[in-house]
Structure 1
């Protein structure tokens, strides 16, 4: 047994490393490379079969994946584009789930509506990470990325609520009051519990000084929100999203810079590893998943596979292109996306880690104790949909963007530079105020002034290339640098509060300041 665990762990580690190398070399999304490497590893003779328990997938992978995406979101920009975001994350998810379930039932009617709807809910929410990484690298209008990220923030909760309701009624058709009560408990209970957890954790973390303990609190938060919600039959996903958004918006300022750096670095690494391991583990299981459907008639299997892939892709395209116009006709502003942007939005629908985790969490049996009919087929179809959309929709994105000539506005391209210049100006004013307050110039002040002036000149040139422009006490110089950093932070928060910069820019520059302050404390 220990030798088998070692073999599986070693194979997983090698698969993750090789997958990242392969993705960079051949230009495919990381997740697709992980699956391919996992499939190859699963075919290696001598490796034990890997079986993922539905409960392990649901509890180990889903809470941190959902928490990470929600914590780094920008709720203010989501609210500014609330109509397209809600349309994509609620209406489109429900339409996709019903269409996928209906297509599946046309070919395999014995599955039943509950199981088919649970499958449809699993594959309904796209994972915007793969698409937005390409969009941001190539440069597109920010509102397009905002809608995609806002959709990703909400659609998982909608899909998981629908999934939970469908699973709870496997083998027993629900009544309308039961469905309405289930939705109310799932949504209201999840949001309420998540808010309580977010407020409590923010209060506790504000009183925690040890940076490593902050990391532990951060890791525990998604589970503190998710598990009790699931036990109370509320939405664990909505609870996790609510707690993450609250901590991301309200709790960021109560944590010391050093702890923020360590915690956010930890989460980026953890998210990378969780996504990698999930896709590699899926690849490990692909040979067994394919073998499980080997006895299916090839005609119905191909018909169901092609029909479902086409349905999820076409419905998203039609929704993005047609629904905004219909909404505008009834007097509701549907956002400012151009037709070209809506076309890209409709094409950016790759399914990812959440769909896999949800599908793998399908129960082995119904609440009545009977085996779940065709569970192997549902897993197979999920794998095909994820791979088809991940590779088939992400790889052509650069060509599509070039054909449509989409690019961000000048103000969006220079947002970070303008924010940094404003912060440097604030730091210089702080230096001048310090000089005016002291008869004798504080040690290190002139050196700090020169550094800031050089930095400002560089930023000015970046914005407009034609525009140019006795022994120090270690403790005093340290205090000076801390005060200057504080002045820059105040200015950065004011810029974000005034709507001059987005939360993404605030986090990016704040992390730079955190790293600088952590370096100063480390040198003490």
Structure 2
């Protein structure tokens, strides 16, 4: 047993590292590379088949994944685009789930409506992370990314609520009132419990000063919200989202900057590892799943796979293009955006890759029916989930850059220069503070040591930001030659900074602070390529 655990753990770690390397080399989404590497590892002789308990997947993977997405969301921007967000996350998820369940029942009539709906709920919500990463890198209107991320904030809760209701009714025939009561308990109970957890954790973190303890509180919060809510048949996802949003909007001021930086860095690494392990684990199970579904006729499997992929893609595209009323009221009280353009709706409709949450939900399907009999179609449903996830990840994310270039979507000047304007305002505020200090100290006939040097550093930084703003505003984008020139200047500045540090003219803290400024400038320039 210890040997098997070591072999599986080592194989998972190697698969994650190789997946990252493979994704960067061949240009496929990380998740697709993880699954492929996991499949290859699952074929290695001597490695046992990995069987993950459904409760482990549901309770160990989902809470932190949902919490991470919700905590780093922007509720204010989501509310500004609430019409499109609700339409995509509620109406579209329900339409996709019922269409997919109906399609599955046409091909496998004996599977039962509850099992079909549970599977359909798993593949209904898209994972916007892969698509929004590409969109942000290539540059699109910010409202499009906001709708995608806002959709991802709510659609998991809708899908998991539907999934819980379907699983609870496997082998049963509930009445409509019973189903409605369960929906109310799931939604209202999840939101209320999540709010209570968010308030309680916020007050506890106010009294915590140790950075490591802050990280521990942050780590256990999603489980404090998800697990008890799930045990009382409320929505664990809604509880986690509510707690995360409450802490994300009110909790950043609860902790010191150092603790906040450490905690947020920890969460980014944890999220990457959870997603990677989840996809690799699924890949590990694919050979065994394929062996089980080998008994099905190949034609039936191909028909089911192609039909389900077509349903999730076509329903989303039709919703985005043919239901403009859902996305019309985006800026409640806003002053510039009243609706997504047709080009933006086309991109929104195309950005529907399924991801980690779909896999986690599908893996949490019970092994047995309520009467104790084996869930005979479970492996088939897992196989179809893998097909849908891989087909949408590769088939929709890879062509996305070409689609964006053809549609010529680009962010407005205000969106392009938002970061630069914020940083310039910060430098201006710092300069005003320096001048106030100088005036105050001059009254006492002495100036603080280093004040003049600080003034010069801030003025140089302000001048550089001013030039960058002028470059962005002149024709929308800096040209390739100008970007290359700016990158060469940044490289020279970086070399000078290293030389100063090497000679001992500046300390490590100063080197890191200035280096971070240069990193931000270089990132902005390379994204504009």
- TM-superposed CA distance for 1:437, in Å, is 2.0
Give the corresponding residue for 1:252. Answer: 252
Give the corresponding residue for 2:11. Answer: 11
Q: CA RMSD in A?
A: 2.1
Give the corresponding residue for 2:484. Answer: none
2:428 to 422, 425, 429: 425
Give the corresponding residue for 2:485. Answer: none
- TM-superposed CA distance for 1:91, in Å, is 0.2
Could you tell me which runs of 5 or more consecutive residues in structure 2 were left unpaired when the two chains were aligned: 475-506, 521-529
- TM-superposed CA distance for 1:2, in Å, is 1.1
Change (3 A) 1:166 1:335: farther
Give the corresponding residue for 2:362. Answer: 359
Please list, as runs of the form range in 1=range in 2, the aligned pairs for 1:165-204 lying within 5 A after superposition: 165-204=165-204
- TM-superposed CA distance for 1:112, in Å, is 0.6
**Structure 1 Cα separation of the partners of residues 251 and 347 of structure 2:** 34
- TM-superposed CA distance for 1:443, in Å, is 2.1
Give CA deviations for 1:19-66 in whole Å, capped at 9, x if unaligned.
100000000000000001110111010111111110110011100000
Could you tell me which runs of 5 or more consecutive residues in structure 1 were left unpaired when the two chains were aligned: 468-477, 486-507, 513-524
Secondary structure class of the residue paired with 1:62 = helix
Q: Does 1:382 align with 2:385?
A: yes
**Structure 1 Cα separation of the partners of residues 350 and 286 of structure 2:** 26
Secondary structure class of the residue paired with 1:464 = helix
**Structure 2 Cα separation of the partners of residues 29 and 356 of structure 1:** 15
**Structure 2 Cα separation of the partners of residues 291 and 106 of structure 1:** 24
Please list, as runs of the form range in 1=range in 2, the aligned pairs for 1:79-478 lying within 5 A after superposition: 79-325=79-325, 335-438=338-441, 439=444, 440-465=446-471
**Structure 1 Cα separation of the partners of residues 163 and 338 of structure 2:** 29
Give CA deviations for 1:279-305 in whole Å, capped at 9, x if unaligned.
011111100111110101222222111
**Structure 1 Cα separation of the partners of residues 308 and 185 of structure 2:** 30
Moved more, 408-417 or 428-437: 428-437
TM-score, normalisation: structure 2: 0.87
Confirm or deny: 8 A CA contact 1:12 1:277 kept in the other structure: yes
Confirm or deny: 8 A CA contact 1:68 1:271 kept in the other structure: yes
**Structure 2 Cα separation of the partners of residues 220 and 12 of structure 1:** 24
- TM-superposed CA distance for 1:326, in Å, is 7.3
**Structure 2 Cα separation of the partners of residues 326 and 16 of structure 1:** 39
Give CA deviations for 1:350-406 in whole Å, capped at 9, x if unaligned.
000000000000011222323224111111110100000000000000010011001
**Structure 1 Cα separation of the partners of residues 397 and 326 of structure 2:** 28
**Structure 1 Cα separation of the partners of residues 88 and 58 of structure 2:** 24
- TM-superposed CA distance for 1:444, in Å, is 1.9
Moved more, 425-434 or 353-362: 425-434
Give CA deviations for 1:255-286 in whole Å, capped at 9, x if unaligned.
10010011001000000000011101111110
**Structure 1 Cα separation of the partners of residues 31 and 215 of structure 2:** 26
Confirm or deny: 8 A CA contact 2:317 2:346 kept in the other structure: yes
- TM-superposed CA distance for 1:434, in Å, is 1.4
Confirm or deny: 8 A CA contact 2:125 2:354 kept in the other structure: yes
- In the TM superposition, structure 1's runs of 4+ consecutive aligned residues that sit over 3 Å from their partners are 325-329, 332-335
**Structure 2 Cα separation of the partners of residues 176 and 335 of structure 1:** 38
Give the corresponding residue for 2:62. Answer: 62
Confirm or deny: 8 A CA contact 2:328 2:340 kept in the other structure: no
Secondary structure class of the residue paired with 1:201 = helix
Change (3 A) 1:323 1:298: same
Give the corresponding residue for 2:525. Answer: none
- How many residues get paired? 472
Secondary structure class of the residue paired with 2:323 = helix
- TM-superposed CA distance for 1:327, in Å, is 7.3
Confirm or deny: 8 A CA contact 2:122 2:362 kept in the other structure: yes
- TM-superposed CA distance for 1:335, in Å, is 4.7
